[in-house]
Structure 1
Amino acid sequence: MSEQETDGLGPAQRKVRDWVMQRLYAGRYEVGDQLPSQRALADAIGVSRSTVQQALNMLAAEHWVEGQQGSGTTVLRRPSIASPQGPAVAPDSLMDEVFKQTEVLLDVFSLTSESLVAPITRQYDRIRRDKGSEVQRIRLRMLLPSEDLDLPYPRAVDADRRDAITRRRVNETRTHVRAITQKLRDLKANAWVRSVEVEVRHVPLPPAHKVYLVNGTQLMLAPYKVIEQNVDVEGEVVALVDVEGVGASITHVVRNEDPGSPDSVMVASHQVWFDSLWETLAK
């Protein structure tokens, strides 16, 4: 892929776009508010004024903002739902921003951890390429359903094949967890990140949503869509009830300065919920 990506923005322009979108998510700017001037944005983000103008033009084309000569740039709407394929900030972009901080505290509750492999691998490759990063500490706490739990999904339609589906789920989950753990520990082994802590626990609960909590300030929530499909298990085609996790629509919520705001309450309540599972039910 060339430096000019298919969305018409280069890396510098996407940096500006992500900067604005992150602040729209966080509620820094409400509908009708004025964004800082192009010169102020250029200084704050460290790019040229023409780069800012190009990014704002794209945001205007997507109807996030409206620019009028002599009146600045006005916010037209705020996002609340983001899809990995959609016009708002994608999960990879969010993780890129998270891994620019000195400390990354990541709490995850998911069915198999499959969707975490790609973002962690992306960050590992970037840090390895740069021989280091801003990150000094990474702590990952991951909750998964108990391996012996009789889950509603994935579940074979034929009762005689359910044990085989359970073995398949457990083996796939263990493979994903090993990949994630190894990538993160290699960052510490090579002294690219000073401190890395990874702990995985299991709970006797099937997750209805994939939940990511970042530094106690951000929440990413994606519902599992239940589907029916056929899979090859040990050389035999098996019909099962399963879920779509990778590519699911994601709700992204950011805690703001008002602890009583809906976004702040939602992030805080999910953090309390996760901590309660971790401390009481998880093993």
Structure 2
Amino acid sequence: MASGSKHDYELIADKLRSQIAAGAYGPRKRLPTQRELAQEHGVSRDTVIRALSVLRAEGLIETHQGSGALVKEGLDLVSEKAPMVLLKPYVAEAFEATEVTLDVFSMTTESLVRTVAEQKDRIVAKEIRPPRSITARLLLPDTRANLAIPVSVEDPSDPRPRARLRRILVGHATTLRDTLHLLRDLDLVPEVSVQVRTVSQSPQMKLYVLNRRLALHGLYTPEKRPVTLDDGEVIEIIDSLGLGATMYPYRASAGSPPDQVGFVGMVQKWFENTWNTPTLSKEADF
């Protein structure tokens, strides 16, 4: 790296931020000294000081003369930017835990289905130790409701876009259920639970809460596009596209309690309340 450049201190801050998020440096743990960081990255101490200033401004660390930089106590999350295509490593990481929990709010769960199938293959091939339990809860749109998306551009009352969505989401949810149940049927995972509830709204965001410690959040983009309906007719609809969405991961810091505040805690509470409130969600009929 070119010593003293802005790019250098941002890269150092990014690496330290990720290490804090992963638990390499827990609450009240001391980061490497400025000299050690400078030697590790081949930069000047001024560059390291700038990197630490970024983390201090974000509220992740505190610095005291003579004591170095310490990770702040009581942190509830660290965020990092990642494109949606990086969903796979986060789910792979989640499946390496003893107890796996997947709380998902999505339009169709298409991305999750593919990724979970890969984790099933890893378990069957004995590439990773099988978890003791897997619990998946899916919140999906109720296609019997008057959803705002998907909708026909020419005739908003046309029920066929919703019928098409139902076929897609039922297919993906069924595949996910069958994939996880197979692990139980093969006596690889003793406890498997897959539940689906529906909400009377079109998701404007997708949300994954993995093992109650990591939240992946992204926005759907409403766009016009042509689709082929079940009867073969091609029409233009307004649809929510998520495959190209940017996902933002938020990880609860090591040592934080399960009911932590901050983004991870807030979205977990949102999911729990939505899941458990009959006026907000109901058991899926598939």
* Shift of residue 163, structure 1, vs aligned partner: 1.1
Identify the match of residue 262 of structure 2 among 250, 262, 265: 265
**Contact map agreement 1:255 1:267 (CA 8 A) in 2:** yes
2:235 alignment partner, SS class? strand
Q: Deviations over 1:52-92 (max 9, x none)?
A: xxxxxxxxxxxxx9613999xx695786221135xxxx211
Pair 1:259–1:99, CA change in 2 (3 A) = closer
Q: What is residue 252 of structure 2 aligned with on the other side?
A: 255
Which has the greater radius of gyration?
A: 2
Identity fraction in percent: 28
Matched pairs, number: 233
**Contact map agreement 1:109 1:142 (CA 8 A) in 2:** yes
Alpha-carbon distance between aligned partners in 2 of 1:240 and 1:69, rounded to the nearest angstrom: 53
Q: CA RMSD in A?
A: 3.5
Pair 1:33–1:171, CA change in 2 (3 A) = same
Aligned residue runs from structure 1 range 102-181, under 5 A? 102-130=98-126, 133-159=129-155, 162-181=158-177
**Contact map agreement 2:92 2:119 (CA 8 A) in 1:** yes
Q: Does 1:201 align with 2:200?
A: no
TM-score, scaled to structure 2: 0.71
**Contact map agreement 2:21 2:254 (CA 8 A) in 1:** no
Q: What is residue 34 of structure 1 aligned with on the other side?
A: 32
Q: Which runs of 5+ in 1 are unaligned?
A: 1-18, 39-64
Identify the match of residue 214 of structure 2 among 208, 215, 218: 218
Identify the match of residue 275 of structure 2 among 270, 275, 278: 278
Alpha-carbon distance between aligned partners in 2 of 1:259 and 1:128, rounded to the nearest angstrom: 33
TM-score, scaled to structure 1: 0.71
What code does the residue aligned with 1:145 have? P
Alpha-carbon distance between aligned partners in 1 of 2:109 and 2:100, rounded to the nearest angstrom: 18
Pair 1:265–1:160, CA change in 2 (3 A) = closer
* Shift of residue 137, structure 1, vs aligned partner: 0.4
**Contact map agreement 1:259 1:265 (CA 8 A) in 2:** no
Q: What is residue 83 of structure 2 aligned with on the other side?
A: 83
What code does the residue aligned with 1:256 have? S
Q: Which runs of 5+ in 2 are unaligned?
A: 1-14, 56-78
What code does the residue aligned with 2:239 have? D
**Contact map agreement 2:147 2:200 (CA 8 A) in 1:** no
Q: Does 1:245 align with 2:242?
A: yes
1:93 alignment partner, SS class? helix
The structure whose RCO (Cα within 8 Å, separation 6+) is larger is 2
Question: Would you identify which runs of 4 or more consecutive aligned residues in structure 1 move more than 3 Å?
Answer: 19-22, 24-30, 32-35, 74-79, 257-260
Alpha-carbon distance between aligned partners in 2 of 1:101 and 1:168, rounded to the nearest angstrom: 36
